[in-house]
Amino acid sequence: MESKIINLFSKGDTVYIRNNPGKVLKVGKPISPVGEPKTDLYLLLENKNELFELKISLKNINASFVENKITAQRAYILFGEKWKTILKQSIAQLVNEFNSRKLIFKSSFGKSKEGSFTLGWRFDLVWQHEGKLSGSILLSKEQKLEVYTGENLPSEKKDCFVNSKKIKNSGVANCILISDWQTIKTAEDVFANLLIFDESMVNALPDIYFSCKALNYRSLLTDRPILKRIEGNRSLAVYVNWIILNNKLHPELIFDDPLEIKGTDVLENLLQNLQLLNIETIYDINRNNVSSVNYIQD
C-alpha cells in the first residue's frame, strides 16, 4: 500500500499543494544500506524557480507499531543521552503491574504457554495503549519530534539513496502523512493530510506510547535447541533476576537497567539455578522449592 501512495507521483508532473503548483523533479523511496530511514516518500519540487524537498513519513492510522523490539543503541538514537532516564521514569508508572505478573506457567495463560518461565519484557513504541503493561512515554516536545523525524539517526539512515543517487538528509522526515491509506486516491489527498514537522505542530502529532511484551523461556519445546526456546534474544526493559534465596528459586524484578540485559543472559542464570535446585522440569516446581507460589500459574 505504501508503494501505491508513492506511485501517485511521477517525475515531470505538476501537483498542487493547497492550490500552489509544484513541478515534480524527483520522486522515490529513500533506501538505507542498514534498516529503514524515517522518510518513506522523497519529493523534490520546483515552484517559481525555487526548489524544496518534501520528505514524508507515511503512517497508516490503523498501524500499531511505531517501533518494536527497541535496543539500547536504538533508544539512544531516539531519545538522546537521557534515554535511560526516560525509560526508567516511563516504566516506573507500571511497577505495581509488573510485580503482580505470573512468572512461571504450569498451565497456559493468555499468550504464555504451558511450561514457560518469564525472563523479562521487551520495549515497543506504539500508537495507543496496549494492555496493562503499556503507558505514555515521557518525552519533551523536542524528543517527540526527534522520534518522528529521525534527526538523531546514524548517517547511513539519514543520507539515503533515492533512485540510486545519494541525497544528504533524505532519510530525515520533515512531514508526516497519518491517514487511512485506503482513502488516499490522489497527490492532492496526500498534501491535504500532511503535517509539517515544527515546534508549533508537535501538539498535533499523536502521542507515543510504550508497550512491554513478555519474553518467555518455553521449556517444553524440547525438540528445539535451548536458545531457540525463546522468541529472539531481545533487549529487556525489565528483567527477572532468578536467584536462589533460602534454598528456593526467587525472582527479583530489575527496573534500573533497561535494555542492557538480553534474554539469553537471564536464561543462562535461570538454567544454572534450576540445576542447582534439582528442578529438571516445570512439573518439579512446588511450594518447597520456590519462595512463593503467588507468581506461579497452576
> What's the confidence (pLDDT) of residue 36?
83
> What's the confidence (pLDDT) of residue 165?
96
> What's the confidence (pLDDT) of residue 157?
87
Q: 243: exposed, middle or buried (C-beta count within 10 Å: 0-12, 13-18, 19+)?
A: middle
How far is 51 from 53, CA to CA, in rounded Å? 7
User: Helix (H, G, I), strand (E, B), or coil: what is residue 153?
Assistant: coil
What is the pTM assigned to this prediction? 0.79
> What's the confidence (pLDDT) of residue 254?
98
Which residue in this structure is represented by grid cell 519484557?
A: 121
How far is 158 from 173, CA to CA, in rounded Å? 9
Q: How many CB atoms are closer than 10 A to CB 5?
A: 21
Taking only the tens of pLDDT, the chain with its 298 residues reads 688 999 999 999 999 987 889 999 999 999 998 878 899 999 999 998 899 999 999 988 777 667 788 999 888 877 878 899 999 999 999 999 999 999 999 999 999 999 999 999 999 988 888 889 999 988 888 888 888 898 888 888 899 999 999 999 999 999 999 888 889 999 999 999 899 998 777 888 878 899 999 999 999 999 999 889 999 999 999 999 999 999 999 999 999 999 999 999 999 999 999 999 999 989 999 999 999 999 999 9
Q: Which three cell numbers stand for residue 181?
A: 491509506
> What's the confidence (pLDDT) of residue 105?
97
